[in-house]
Chains A and B, each alone.
Chain A
């Protein structure tokens, strides 16, 4: 019977099902209420960033880049807008230096560019970003070269295999194996029509080059270039040079290809690294930089290559500042551009003196990491330069002569932590002033009020101007107003504070299209995800950034001013949390060390009595010492900002299980209704417990997922469930709120694919039974062990892998929740109403009238998503959204959502429709028009009716 089903029917059914429960985006709100910061990430390597013609034969070039997040793409150099992007892999934030050996981007022929990431090679259309072909090699790729004459892309694998791929079709033209698999290939060079491949042969301690025929792949000749010791390394050599370069600890050796001639350049022992540049085959440019704790030095040399002999030509002088070089040849001579924080200087191949210097109007925000520059000498001798500079704060700027044309906030693509800051918290609200007036005596209250009114007069001109605007707004859509200057009565304006891996803290404004509000350096060269203990709210408009090193940065989140930096002797693995005083506004952060028997810390080290009071009501919990479970502690303050910890409970996993994640209910998670009213007017009471923690563990040996719901005060296991036949290599994500949790995993069972499982918890399996909920002094401490909640589950099949789950949150919790799913394969942020993910949906039958009244509809195992209507990001292409965070606005209907990872996407969503605010669809003109029409109609009809009545009287 099932076989007769048409897949189209399924898809359409799923679509219609979800369009009823998913709220799509209104066409007039899209692109107005949401924003997207389209990012690439920080440019990885100077050789993978270049200006290149987008379409062969046409003027106008784009800036191409490969980032540390493995995104390639094109940027318009005029305004910094992105043209296209593609992801090479599911980019993990890893060390840039390692990544730059695995991934690179090169120019190819006919408006194409070629990308390499480990084993994958792809050719892309430079103008549109469409793939031309992809090829997956059997091993890591060592180098690629485009042979224009033969129309081939030649690929060398690390193992010595060489393959030629036809540029047009992606088919293999020829392949050969160099060195019987024992040698390590490193670099191609093309000299005339001879293709050289450099290999190192570890067994023979030799560096050798093999000449390959471009047309057939035949190995024509082999040379031994020199001794290649175990400490030696190959140096990436530009492919157009007739040289191959390698290094030992204090020499740079340049071998002229096809000869035994090797020039050895002594390199100062202070030199940290060097880079070879070339734009023509007869000039070599070597850039050196030396880093020591107190100073950084950089310099460079020009070398001339003539008949295979390398001679030094120009020595560009030392400088005690970080500067980076870029070599360019735009048809008017070879120039090197030297960029530092203050200026760009241009050198030519003739002298060691600069030919031109452009001083920037102000210092760049950080030191440059690397640059690509184009220098043009006009006919009248004037020199112009444009340079794309990657800075140490992770951002990219484009400088034209002495002006900064644009800045791209690429560091945000490398964010490691993010948190909302409420701008309203700090503004003195009217409510508060009124309360203050009420509290004082009559006379002072009167004086206060009058002065307040006089003060408010200053808003009058603005209000009148706004009034005019709102009248004009009646006759057509209101002109878009700059959100940064208007008031924000609905609380849509939040700052999102990011900590980036470059050691900076940056805040963006959700009401102003994600523009950067402030940015501040933490003075650390690099911060990874494990280095950040958290971003904590610390009173009104103040945030704390706590690092594993023990540094605590107190930052005013509104202005971005660093208020205080302090440190406590925190152990890297300690758990950090905030604790609030139940009576006053005081807050502390607490660090619980991972080792048993060691005292904890608290900060600030003041008001200990208040803290003791606050601590007496809480149980602290964290991962256990062996990190195979959760342990609970009670704490007492002692002198010197230390805490005495005494263990109260522990939950340990069996040895074959590993923790995947621990989720707790969000800090702001109000439950508006403690029960659920059923169709027959009986009530299912929700299991309400603010101390829930969902621990997800996997057992690799049995491919199972274990879910434990714990009470973090008593340590009781409230609920356990197991999923067998799961693929634990794919992401397992969960979100927990109110009295339910939702998780997603990949199942290899009969119902294969990504599954979403929802579990709701009720106080009791029977109706009208509130359990312990309504007892006068119910507490987690004295709950009997048997008082475990009643859980109901349902699982759904979902068509795409989900990398992140989140729940909307509103001010009072009255609005229905939506589950937000980040689906990277679609590049979308989808939203599913909790009413759809309802475990009480009837299975295998139509709902009864009572169930319909409750809003239940028939269970369908396939939760297809209408990509359009279920999508909060609608037509936008989101790249790499990894985490989704939500916060309430001042309107009950609306929750503010921000997704981050690579791109930053922000929007606001109303899961139960915007019931408390007039939307853009409210037509003031129609309302006024219909009132007027009724009035006119009455005036018009009145004499007619009167005449008729009189006529009737006469007729009687």
Chain B
């Protein structure tokens, strides 16, 4: 009889030794899923890890990302954990993982910078997590780009003005005499009225460019056309 009990005791102690994990701790598992930001899992650096931070360093776990994107934390003790993906090339959301003493794993979104009690929506347990943003590492220096120069509105206005300057005389020549006379009259008026309002009117830009030292202001009153 005594031998049987001793064998039983031995067996139970053996079982306890073998399966301590089943009694107090659970596994938290999940995987990284590719999305349109992360086209393929092979783009992730091999050294990236996922960490599950508990109240102390001893309660914290780290897992590498396996070839199929999976990660696994073994024997997680009951408690409230912060799950973060440590990745240089992509940004992942942080999650809150609550492990209860009966082995239930609850996963929530979390808002960093708010109270820990402020939970987001609940997520399914084998955690699927995808990046929300890729990292830009570099600023690209903007070199000289003719197209960019041309798309500048100021340059566009200047081009339209130059175009008008060259095209206008030809258009005027093609007009029928009546409208032409009317147009010239109108232009005269407008130039005159402009000239009265323009404070820089005394400055002879054309003369300056042409290198003439003439101080005498030219009168633009008579229109641009020779008669």
With a cutoff of 8 Å between Cβ atoms, the chain B residues found around residue A122 in the complex are 64
Give chain A's interface residue range (CB within 8 Å of chain B).
35 or more
Interface residue? A800 (CB, 8 A): yes
Q: Give A12-24 as 1s and 0s: 1 = Cβ < 8 Å from B's Cβ atoms.
A: 1001000000001
* Chain A residues in 8 Å Cβ range of B91: 11, 15, 867
Q: Which of A129-137, A229-237, A832-840 contacts B (4 or more CB under 8 A)?
A: A129-137
In whole angstroms, what is the CA distance A161 to B58 when docked? 23
- On chain B, the residues within 8 Å of A941 by CB distance are 209
In the complex, per-residue mask of B53-94: 1 if CB is within 8 Å of any chain A CB, else 0: 101111000011111000010110000001010111101011
- Among A279-287, A565-573, A870-878, the stretch in contact with B: A870-878
CB contacts (< 8 Å) of A485 on chain B: these are none
Is A204 interfacial (CB-CB < 8 Å)? no
Instruction: State whether the Cβ of A855 lies closer than 8 Å to any Cβ in chain B.
Output: no
| Chain A residues near B122 (CB-CB < 8 A) | none
Within 8 A of B (CB), among A1-34: 2-3, 5, 7-8, 10-12, 15, 24-28, 30
A-binding segment of B139-147, B170-178, B193-201? B139-147
Asked whether, in the complex, the Cβ of B210 is within 8 Å of the Cβ of A132, the reply is: no
A866 close to B120 (CB less than 8 A): no
Q: Are B120 and A956 in contact (CB under 8 A)?
A: no
- The 8 A CB mask of A120-148 against B (1 = contact, 0 = none) is 00100100111111111010000000000
Does A827 interact with chain B (Cβ within 8 Å)?
yes
Q: How far is the CB of A261 from chain B (nearest CB, A)?
A: 33
Given contacts A27-B138, A177-B18, A827 and B64 within 8 Å (CB-CB)? no
Whether the pair A125, B209 counts as a contact (CB closer than 8 A) is no
Q: Are A952 and B21 in contact (CB under 8 A)?
A: no
B206 adjacent to chain A (CB < 8 Å):
yes
In the complex, the answer to whether B88 meets A871 with C-beta atoms within 8 Å is yes
Query: Do the beta carbons of A136 and B74 come within 8 Å of each other?
Result: yes
Task: A923 to B144: give the CA distance in the assembly, Å.
Answer: 8
In the bound assembly, the distance between CA atoms of A955 and B120 in angstroms comes to 81
Residue in B closest to A87 when the chains form the complex, CB atoms: B47
Residues 905 to 955 of chain A near chain B (Cβ within 8 Å): 919-921, 923, 925-926, 938, 941-942, 945-946, 948-949, 951-955
B49 touches A (CB below 8 Å): yes
Q: Is the CB of B135 within 8 A of A727?
A: no
Question: Once the chains bind, are A84 and B18 in contact (CB under 8 Å)?
Answer: no
Are B116 and A752 in contact, with the CB atoms below 8 A? Answer: yes
Give bound CA distance, A868 to B90, whole Å: 9
A30 touches B64 (CB 8 A): no
Contact residue among B21, B118, B138 (Cβ-Cβ distance under 8 Å from A874): B138
Contact of A869 among B14, B137, B225 (CB under 8 A): B137
- Say which residue of B84, B113, B135 sits within 8 Å of A867 (CB atoms): B135
Contact A826 B87 (CB under 8 A): yes
Task: Give Cα A324 to B89, complex, Å.
Answer: 44
The smallest C-beta distance from A682 to any residue of chain B, in angstroms, reads 32
* A797-B112 CB under 8 A given contacts A26-B138, A130-B66: yes
Interface segment, one of B98-106, B182-190, B211-219: B211-219
B158 CB to nearest chain A CB (Å): 13
In the complex, which residues of chain A have a beta carbon less than 8 angstroms from the beta carbon of B56?
727, 729-730
Q: Report B-chain residues with C-beta under 8 Å of the C-beta of A41.
A: none
Given contacts A7-B94, A945-B210, contact A867 B88 (CB under 8 A): yes
Q: Which residue of B lies closest to A752 (CB)?
A: B116
A949 pairs with B133, CB closer than 8 A: no
- Asked if B117 lies at the interface with its beta carbon under 8 angstroms from chain A, I say yes
Q: Are A862 and B112 in contact (CB under 8 A)?
A: yes
Within the complex, the shortest CB–CB distance from A901 to chain B, in Å, comes to 15
B226 touches A954 (CB 8 A): yes
**CB-based contact B84/A84 at 8 Å:** no
Select which of A125, A159, A871, A877 is within 8 A of B47 by beta carbon: A877
Please determine whether B112 and A3 come into contact, CB atoms closer than 8 angstroms. no
For A24, the closest partner residue in chain B by CB is B139
- Chain B residues, CB < 8 A from A866: 135-136
Q: Are B226 and A175 in contact (CB under 8 A)?
A: no
Shortest CB distance B194–A (Å): 16
Interface size of B in residues (CB-CB distance below 8 Å): 70
Write out, one digit per residue, whether chain A residues 736-754 have a CB within 8 A of any chain B CB (1) or not (0): 0000000000001011110
Whether the pair A877, B210 counts as a contact (CB closer than 8 A) is: no
In the bound complex, how far is the Cα of B18 from the Cα of A105, in angstroms? 26
| A86 lies within 8 A of B46 (CB) | yes
Closest to A137 in B: B74
Minimum CB distance partner of A176 in chain B? B18
Task: Indicate if the CB atoms of B65 and A131 lie closer than 8 Å.
Answer: yes
A198 interfacial contact with B, CB 8 Å? no
Closest to A945 in B: B210
Contact A138 B116 (CB under 8 A): no
A10 close to B112 (CB less than 8 A)? yes
A828 within 8 A of B: yes
Once the chains bind, are A129 and B82 in contact (CB under 8 Å)?
A: no
Contact B10 A180 (CB under 8 A): yes
CB-CB under 8 A from A949, the residues of chain B are 206-207, 210, 212, 218
Which of A24, A874, A949 has the most chain B CB atoms closer than 10 A to its own CB?
A: A949
Cβ–Cβ contact B138 & A138, under 8 A: no
Q: Is A368 interfacial (CB-CB < 8 Å)?
A: no
Give CA–CA (A175, B21) in the complex, Å: 14
Would B139 and A26 count as touching, CB distance under 8 A?
Answer: yes
A727 CA / B137 CA spacing, docked (Å) = 32
State whether the Cβ of B148 lies closer than 8 Å to any Cβ in chain A.
no
B30 at the interface (CB under 8 A from A): no
Q: Are B88 and A129 in contact (CB under 8 A)?
A: no
- Provide the residues of chain B in CB contact with A493, threshold 8 Å: none
**Closest chain A residue to B205, Cβ basis:** A945
Q: Cβ of B88 and Cβ of A751 under 8 Å apart?
A: no
A923–B141 CA distance with the chains assembled, in angstroms? 11
CA distance A758 to B113 in the complex (A): 16
Tell me which residues from 115 to 157 in chain B have a Cβ below 8 Å from any Cβ of chain A. 115-118, 120, 132-133, 135-144
What separation, in Å, do the CA atoms of A871 and B140 have in the docked complex? 15
User: Is A85 an interface residue when CB atoms closer than 8 A count as contact?
Assistant: yes
CB distance from A808 to the nearest CB of B (A): 19
A10 engages B113 (CB within 8 Å): yes
A864 within 8 A of B: yes
**Are B206 and A7 in contact, with the CB atoms below 8 A?**
no
Contact residues in A for B140 (Cβ distance below 8 Å): 26-27
B161 to A: closest C-beta gap in Å: 15
Task: Assess whether B117 is in contact with A750, with CB atoms less than 8 Å apart.
Answer: yes
Residues on the A chain within 8 Å of B53, using CB: 753
**Residues A133 and B132 in contact, CB atoms below 8 Å apart:** no
B167 at the interface (CB under 8 A from A): no
A348 interface residue, CB < 8 Å from B?
A: no
- CB pair B207–A11 under 8 Å, yes or no, is no
Q: Which residue of A lies closest to B50 (CB)?
A: A825
Q: How far is the CA of A730 from the CA of B57 in the complex (A)?
A: 6
Residues of A close to B57: CB separation below 8 A: 727, 729-730
- Judged by a CB distance under 8 angstroms, whether A202 is at the interface is no
- Chain B residue nearest to A876 (CB atoms) is B88
B39 at the interface (CB under 8 A from A): no
Whether the Cβ atoms of B141 and A868 lie closer than 8 Å is no
Least CB distance from B52 to A in Å reads 12
**When A2-B111, A729-B56, A751-B115 are in contact, do A874 and B137 touch as well, CB less than 8 Å?**
yes
Complex alpha-carbon distance, A138 and B74, angstroms: 10
Pull 29 A–B residue pairs with CB atoms less than 8 Å apart, ordered by A: A11-B93, A11-B133, A15-B91, A24-B139, A25-B137, A28-B141, A84-B46, A125-B67, A132-B66, A133-B72, A729-B57, A750-B115, A751-B114, A751-B115, A753-B82, A799-B112, A825-B49, A825-B86, A827-B88, A867-B88, A868-B135, A874-B138, A875-B89, A921-B142, A921-B143, A925-B144, A941-B209, A942-B210, A955-B226
> What are the 4 closest A-B residue pairs judged by CB atoms, nearest first?
A862-B113, A868-B135, A27-B138, A131-B64
The residues of B with any CB-CB pair to A shorter than 8 Å are 10, 14, 17-18, 20-21, 45-47, 49, 51, 53, 55-58, 63-67, 72, 74-75, 82, 84, 86-89, 91, 93-94, 109-118, 120, 132-133, 135-144, 206-207, 209-212, 218-220, 222-223, 225-227
Extra pairs beyond A729-B58, A942-B210 (10, CB < 8 Å): A2-B114, A7-B111, A10-B112, A28-B141, A134-B72, A136-B75, A860-B113, A862-B113, A867-B88, A952-B218
